Amino acid sequence: MKWGTSAWSEQNGTLPRNGCAQEVPVFVQAAGVRRSGSARRGGQASAWPHPQRAFPICHDRRPNAPRNQGTRAASSQSVTPDRLDRPRKSCQAGGGSARRGRRSGRSEVEDIQTIEPADALGPVAALADQVATGLIGHEHLVERLAIALLAGGHVLIEGPPGLAKTRAVKRLAAGLAGSFARIQCTPDLMPSDMTGTQVFRPDSGRFDFLPGPLFHELVLVDEINRAPPKVQSALLEAMAEAQVTAGGVTRKLPDPFMVVATQNSIEHEGTFPLPEAQLDRFLLHLNLSLPGAEVERAILDLVEQEDRAPPVPPAHRLGAGAIHAARAAVARVTLAPALKDFIVRLVVATREAQGTPLEGLVEHPVSPRGTLALAASVRARAALRGRDYGLPEDVEALAADALSHRMIPSWRATSEGLGARDLVARLLDHVRPW
């Protein structure tokens, strides 16, 4: 899988500049705006099953485009939801820029500007490729880690032992210039072992604060469900507000700050289930499964290769400034009103399940934090794939990872063998983007 710069050009690894996209999908409102040309006279707008929703139209923005390819040509095409994921066609660098503001005979829509990854998203895409080289069959995991890094969130990785959960986080840490700390959770762990403690200095006769491992930019909380609830609660303030209160003093954590926690999905002896408030702090919850024979064979070859020649540390590491620049680019990703409505309807459907396929299957619905988490993840995924606008496919791809851990199935759902991810799948079948 290619991210960021690689998603656009296989030749030089750069994105096309503004105006170099031959086909740029944009969202226009089917009702409530002034339109001209064939779009006003009907066309696909009248044939669209939900005229109050937004729908995509492709305009040819090339400087040398024929003059007769305006709104009439665009609206004569079949506009369906499956056209939303049409890839942009890149052109050679040096093409003309889009002529903004010249909309004679066209719908009143805003131009979609391409993201420039050279200074922002390019380093994050390179980091994702670097992490993926040491993980076989975990493209999904690598992309989700990059999404969380861009969105400023935390990740919970769950799966059987031996699936490279810890290895993935350590490879991510190797590509970051910031500090890294690992907390190995045990039943006798104390909250001060994570947040820090007051140490008495006999020479000065005063107490000094000794920061704990949470005062690092990337923190791996390994086997988090082996820590007692008192220790798990110590993470709530840190993950939600990026600060720690100890000894009556509140101290800010580094920026950026990211927690990646792992837990074993098989062994439950001596473990403590994570409370709902703790789960809600994670942006994404990933479930890993055992690999197939082909992937496992490739893993064997990779381990043998690393035993003969240990991997070389990366020459360049991603610093805080590069992460902040990438996050600023992600913040400029546009979510159309119809896409925001889709996200909200998905979350609200977990609360108003009467008369839906989820009726009687949800004990605790998704909170508004789930809405914010899904929207932030959609922006980050779109940016990683070289877009500055979100699509319904982004929502559908991330819904299970962003919402399942915030939802508690009822006893009826459990008796029917349905988990939270099964409920999200039913939700996506019931709530459609348009």
Q: Residue 238: which CATH number?
A: 3.40.50.300
Same domain, 55 and 188: no
Question: Within a domain: residue 91?
Answer: no
**101-105, 182-186, 224-228, 302-306: segment of lowest average pLDDT:** 101-105
Question: Within a domain: residue 228?
Answer: yes
pLDDT recorded at residue 157: 96
Question: Within a domain: residue 105?
Answer: no
Question: Within a domain: residue 225?
Answer: yes
Per-residue pLDDT band for 116 (boundaries 50, 70, 90) equals: low
Same domain, 253 and 217: yes
Among 61-75, 239-253, 347-361, the range with the most confident prediction by mean pLDDT is: 239-253
Domain end position, chosen among 308, 325, 342: 308
CA dist 169 and 317 (Å) reads: 15
Question: Within a domain: residue 243?
Answer: yes
Residue 68 CB contacts under 8 Å (≥ 6 apart), including other chains: none
Question: Within a domain: residue 164?
Answer: yes
Same domain, 36 and 153: no
SS3 string, 378-416, reads: HHHHHHHCCCCECCHHHHHHHHHHHHHHHCEECHHHHHC
pLDDT recorded at residue 205: 85
Percentage, residues of the chain above pLDDT 70: 73
What is the chain's mean pLDDT, rounded? 77
Per-residue pLDDT band for 55 (boundaries 50, 70, 90) equals: very low
Residue 150 scores a pLDDT above 90: yes
Same domain, 278 and 364: no
Same domain, 205 and 284: yes
Torsional class of 70: left (φ above 0), alpha (ψ -120 to 50), beta (otherwise): beta
Per-residue pLDDT band for 219 (boundaries 50, 70, 90) equals: very high
CA dist 27 and 29 (Å) reads: 7
Per-residue pLDDT band for 314 (boundaries 50, 70, 90) equals: confident
CB 235 within 8 A of CB 242: no
SS3 string, the chain, reads: CCCHHHHCCCCCCCCCCCCCCCCEEEEEECCCCCCCHHHCCCCHHHHCCCCCCEEEEEECCCCCCCCCCCHHHHHCCCCCHHHHHCCCCCCCCCCCCCCCCCCCCCCCCCCCCCCCCCCCHHHHHHHHHHHHCCCCCCHHHHHHHHHHHHHCCCEEEEECCCCCHHHHHHHHHHCECCCEEEEECCCCCCCHHHHEEEEEECCCCEEEEEECCCCCCEEEEECHHHCCHHHHHHHHHHHHHCEEEECCEEEECCCCCEEEEEEECCCCCCCCCCCHHHHCCCCEEEECCCCCHHHHHHHHHHHHHHHHCCCCCCCCCECHHHHHHHHHHHHCCECCHHHHHHHHHHHHHCCCCCCCCCCCCEEECCCHHHHHHHHHHHHHHHHHCCCCECCHHHHHHHHHHHHHHHCEECHHHHHCCCCHHHHHHHHHHHCCCC
pLDDT in tens, 393-411: 999 999 999 999 999 999 9
Residue 9 scores a pLDDT above 50: no
Same domain, 199 and 251: yes
Question: Within a domain: residue 398?
Answer: yes
Per-residue pLDDT band for 73 (boundaries 50, 70, 90) equals: very low
What token pair was written down for 223? 């086997």
**8-17, 146-155, 160-169, 420-429: segment of lowest average pLDDT:** 8-17
Average pLDDT over residues 80-106: 39
Torsional class of 205: left (φ above 0), alpha (ψ -120 to 50), beta (otherwise): left
Buried b or exposed e, range 290-326, using 16+ CB within 10 angstroms: ebeeeeeeebeeeeeeeeeeeeeebeebbeeebbebb
Domain count, the chain: 3
Same domain, 150 and 274: yes
Same domain, 304 and 341: no
Same domain, 175 and 242: yes
Residue 420 scores a pLDDT above 80: yes
Mode of pairing for the β-strands spanning 249-252 and 155-159: unpaired
pLDDT recorded at residue 95: 39
Average pLDDT over residues 150-175: 94
Same domain, 164 and 44: no
Domain that includes residue 411, residue range: 333-430
CB atoms within 10 A of CB 330: 25
Question: Within a domain: residue 168?
Answer: yes
Same domain, 22 and 126: no
Q: What is the CATH number of the domain that holds 358?
A: 1.10.8.80
Same domain, 161 and 42: no
Residue 272 scores a pLDDT above 50: yes
Residue 159 CB contacts under 8 Å (≥ 6 apart), including other chains: 165, 264, 265, 286, 287, 288, 289
